[in-house]
Amino acid sequence: MTTDFGGKSQNSNISMKTPPVFYSHFIILFQIFCHGVLLVSFVSLPFRYWIPALAMYCFINGLGIVCGYHRLISHKSYKTKWKNVLSVIGCMAVQGSPLVWAGLHRAHHAYSDTDKDPHTPSKHWWKALMSPVNKIELKFVKDLARDKFQQILHRYYMWGFVGYYLALFWFLSIEMFIAVGLIPVSLTWIAVHSVNLFCHFKSLQNISIISWLSFGEGYHSNHHANPGRHRFGDIDLGATVIEKYLT
């Protein structure tokens, strides 16, 4: 059974109202916009703003996506009392709700490098960069669809996005808005795309330099061999954060 962003699940045991179809298109367009801002910022944004930009990247990617969306919510590779907090931080990366992200990622593991893989580069390299977020298979997210907090994040994701960015724009200078609101989103997408594209190029690979820049995600062959393990490799900053601060 699949559900797209225009209907409701027909499973009466699961309450999951899905966002409208523009959700997927909007995320892709916002991603492109953030990449453009990043390129312009390299030559126009003063150096002092890059420190909060990189700190925010570590916050939303390291905690939100790597420790939260990926290793906790998608794979349940560890237990923590901070699940809801990590879910909210992950929303700040503008990669969809935790339910959507986990649904696509679980499908990626189930159908890895086949035609049904939502972001394999095996036939079309661009698929690793523009994977759709407008359709998920309900069988992959039944646990999250029964979670009341995850339902709320999923149902009101776009409203949360609007509120978050209005608050940033209202309270921050334009330079700081770019530094903490746009650049980290671009960097996080680059990290995710690097894993999807290069670590799956021709065959599954472990790429150390990507791991260093993405909190251990580049040990991707190791991860696919044992997706339920929270540590992917020896130099795995995401796993270190989990072990020292989250469990």
208-223 residue pLDDT tens = 999 999 999 999 999 9
Predicted TM-score (pTM) above 0.85? yes
CB 61 within 8 A of CB 215: yes
Residue 138 has pLDDT above 90, yes or no: no
Q: Which three-class secondary structure state does DSSP give residue 173?
A: coil
2 DSSP β-pair partners: 137
DSSP code at position 230: S
Cα 76-78-83 angle, rounded to 5 deg? 75
Distance CA 235, CA 209 (A): 11
How large is the average pLDDT for residues 47-55?
98
Residue 12 has pLDDT above 50, yes or no: no
pLDDT at position 119, please? 77
Residue 57 has pLDDT above 70, yes or no: yes
